[in-house]
Amino acid sequence: MPDATTLTDAVRREIGASLAATDAELARRYPGDPGTRQPVHTVYVPADVFTERTVREWGERALAALDAHAPGPRDLAAVLGLPLALAADVHDRVRAKLRREPVEDLRIDFEDGYGHRSDAEEDAAAVAAARTVSAAVAAGTAPPYVGIRMKCLEAAVRERGIRTLDLFLTGLLAGGGLPDGLVLTLPKVTFPAQVAAMARLCGEFERAAGLPDGRIGFEIQIETPQAVLGPDGAAGVPRLIEAAGGRATALHYGTFDYSAACGVSAAHQSLDHPAADHAKAVMQAAAAGTGVRLSDGSTNVLPVGTTERVHSAWRLHYGLVRRSLAHAYYQGWDMHPAHLPTRYAAVYAFYREGFPASAARLTAYTAKAEADVMDEPATARALSADLLRALDCGALSAEEVTEGTGLSRADLDALAGRGGR
């Protein structure tokens, strides 16, 4: 005999029908992680100094800084307070990374880092940027992600920003097509209408160029308090994501514009200021489940000058990156080649220190075994996502992960709710 129930099939069908619109809305607004690689950083380079050698030069200068100020594992351990065994492993991996792939995400800057130029000069720079990116993609020397930060859509620079965007994208099409890792950044967003306008620009370009609908996405820079808290007192970030119409790929926190707009004095403008933490907490909650990634900002303390000054700047940068990682901000900005050693040292140390515990918890979860921590499926997804990020950036090897967990990359993709890549 079937188990007895009280509710009728008709009631269950009615409940399902009443929630159908809600189901569709959940799927539209919260599709989950896109399952693609997220770079650990973004490097900003002014458009007038960007050349085909830029990425290679950043790697060479970063290696030179490491060799000059922390040539061996013991030096790195002393500067950053790492155990020697971990420092030895991290030092080797950082050196290899700086040779192989020093920059994961490159943004050619036409905004604050470039400033106001004549139209002819910016036109030429936009065309040159597209030509150089296309050549690097064809040669296999482009970073995994590359694109431009245009001027914002405020009235004073709107037409200039749109023209630069058009020239760059048109140049990429002429040079072989839009690269898979194309990234566009819209700065100084205040109102959802500006995001909606950017989305329309992308859609109009796609239609004119015969590209698939939705091919072009963009990042939104959060640099104004009004983007976080609207004039009606409501959180503004969800409205920005909605206004993008599915094209928003990331939210980037702009440390110094945001801090200054909040009245924070220059000496205290930092990633760990309470005003920054508030903005980033709102961004984090708004982006959760949407598939929109998060990026922290930068420090303007550069590792240059004497070894003592470099070490001081490195300790600051390393601590800020580790703090961001612990707060689930897995990406940030780097302003100088000498920031790269501590960017990768912080990322690699973070994932390698956490790997034994993550591996043990995942192993227990997949084996349904008793362990010190009883994890939920959501935590297993987070643990798997962490290991995938570690694999993507080079903090862990596939062999280490499989040996420690018994899981392949495909297994981790499945646990993380990704389709693989």
Assess whether pLDDT exceeds 70 at residue 421: no
Encoded tokens for 170 = 């048109």
- Could you report the per-residue pLDDT of 166-202, keeping only the tens digit for each? 999 999 999 999 999 999 999 999 999 999 999 999 9
User: One-letter amino acid identity for 65?
Assistant: A
Assess whether pLDDT exceeds 90 at residue 372: no
> Which stretches within 31-118 are classed as H helix?
54-69, 73-80, 84-100
Nearest-angstrom CA–CA distance, 256 and 42: 16
> Does domain 41-349 match CATH 3.40.50.2000?
no
What angle is formed at CA 44 by the lines to CA 382 and CA 291, rounded to 5 degrees? Answer: 30
Of 306, 295, 201, nearest to 245 by C-alpha is: 201
Assess whether pLDDT exceeds 70 at residue 375: no
- Could you report the per-residue pLDDT of 278-305, keeping only the tens digit for each? 999 999 999 999 999 999 999 999 999 9
Confidence of residue 165 (pLDDT cuts 50, 70, 90): very high
Residue 57 CB-density burial (10 A; 0-12 exposed, 13-18 middle, 19+ buried): middle
- Could you report the per-residue pLDDT of 219-232, keeping only the tens digit for each? 999 999 999 999 99
| Region(s) of the chain under CATH 3.20.20.60 | 41-349
Region 23-39: mean pLDDT is: 94
Confidence of residue 420 (pLDDT cuts 50, 70, 90): very low
> Cβ(195)–Cβ(250) under 8 Å?
no
Burial letters 292-318, b for 16+ CB under 10 A, else e: bbbbbbbbebebeeeeeebbebbebbb
- For residue 145, CA distances in Å to 36, 127, 403 come to 12, 19, 30
> Cβ(297)–Cβ(333) under 8 Å?
yes
Encoded tokens for 117 = 């130029």
Encoded tokens for 316 = 């600051």
> Which stretches within 175-271 are classed as H helix?
192-209, 225-228, 237-243, 255-261
**pLDDT at position 369, please?**
53
Q: State whether the Cα torsion 183-189-195-200 is positive or negative.
A: negative
Assess whether pLDDT exceeds 60 at residue 370: no
